[in-house]
Structure formats: C-alpha cells, structure tokens
A = this chain, B = another copy of it.
Amino acid sequence: MCSRPFQREHALTKLSPAVALMIRKLSRHHPLSPEDMREINALPFVLRQTCSSEYLVREGQQPIRCAFLMEGYAYRQKLTSNGERQIIAINLPGDFLDLQNLFLTESDHNVQALTSGIVVEMSLPAMRNLAFRRPAVGKAFWVATLIEASINREWLLNVGRRPAPERLAHLLCEIQVRVARTDASVAVDYELPMTQEQIGDALGLTSVHVNRVLKTLQKQGLINRDRRRLQVVDWPGLRALADFNERYLHLQQS
C-alpha cells in the first residue's frame, strides 16, 4: 500500500505543501526569483507514502527519479559483503534524496526510510534540465549536495577519531540542531526514531555499546530518555563533551 502514489498535481494548481517546502528549503540555499519558483512549481511530481525501512534508492540502480523527503526521516546506508551496515547520513524532511545521482549514472549507496513518511518524486532529467535553465535553482541544488558532503566529512572525523561517548554525543547534538531547524516546536525534547542498533550503525559501534553509553550520558545528567524520546538536559555539557561546532552544517545557507 505504501508504494502506491496517492496524489498527483500539476503546474497550474496553486502551491501544494510539497512544493512550498521545497521552495522554502531551496531559497535558503540560494535566493530564488518568482520565475525560478514558478519553474519549480511546474515540475511534474508524484506524492508517495513510504513505509518504515522501505528502500527508496538502491545501490547499483540507474537513477531515474529524484525524491524529496517531505515527511518522515530517511537514512543513507552502505553494506559490506559480509552484511555489516554503515549508516552514512540521516535525512530530515526538506532534504533531497537523489541529488547525489543528479549527474552520475549509477547509485553508489542505498537510501532507506527510517520512519513512514511522504516523498515527492520528480523526474531526474527534468531536474537536470532545470538546474541549468535556472541557474539560481541549480546553485541551490548544488549547495544542498555540498552541505551533505560536509556533514559526511564531519561524520568521518567523528567515527574515525572520537571515542564512543563523544561520538554519540556529537550525533545527538547534530540531530538536535537539525531537527530544531526544520521544526521550531522542538526545543530540547525530541523524538529520535532510531533503534539503538541504527544508532550503532551510524557511529560504527554495536547496539550493546550504544546502550551502555546512552546510560552513561544519562547518569552524567546530560540527557534523559523515555523510550525513543530524548531530552537534552545539559546542552552546554553535551556540546562540550561532543566537541560540537556547527560550522560544518553551514546553517546560514541551509
């Protein structure tokens, strides 16, 4: 049921919430003119409901569609041949899921839905075209991929060089900041819809160790937990432990 498109909208309709979110997001990356926005709105698209853990992009696939995440969370992921998984990135509503493939012929990683949600699917060739017909839109796309690449670099530093407690604290800081940015209602208390195994896969740790470290952070009075709900009790403390510096998020451009 998840994979059936349930709504189709066209150019002349008034701005749908999906397009509104996309335009809001892109214009934070780069200023857009009314004409740019009109062209974005003119892109044919399909809204689709997604199930939790559904594959949205598969490694090796030839990219045809470009998905934009409207509701729910997703993550990028790669597997070793003996089945170990590394989560490469977390995507929030307002993120494009396929800009990595905009000019590559083959996808090099998987994208999976973390929760159920809604994606907007557009034609990749149409977006390629738009990226050069409307340079401002192209620059906004470009900025989006550059910011994701920057986050990737920080993750590599995190996984390669920080011990487990710092590493986990850093992930929690990043998600806190990024979630708060898309959803102003979030202050210090937010839902982290990841299992401890998924957290481990994002950090290069086992779920068992994540469990122990989470408990340690809680004992230190940095966070509180209730199921998947996470509350940052001591933001300066968590930040300091994590050695967190939001420069890499390029917030003024996102």
Contacts and interface: CB of A to CB of B under 8 A. Distances in A.
A250 B88 CA distance: 18
Interface stretch (A5-13, A152-160, A215-223, A228-236): A152-160
A161 B243 CA distance: 23
B204 A104 contact: no
B159 A108 contact: no
Contacts of A106: 247, 250
Given A60-B247, A159-B159, A104 B253 contact: yes
A92 to B, nearest CB: 18
A145 B145 contact: yes
Interface in A93-134: 100-106, 108-109, 132
B156 A156 contact: yes
Interface stretch (A15-23, A48-56, A77-85, A171-179): A77-85
Q: Which 8 A-B pairs have the closest CB atoms?
A: A160-B204, A86-B157, A132-B135, A149-B149, A84-B161, A86-B160, A78-B157, A108-B150
Nearest to A135: B132
A139 interface: yes
A76 B153 contact: yes
Contact of A152 (B105, B152, B201, B250): B152
From A81, A86, A147, residue with most partner B Cβ within 10 Å: A86
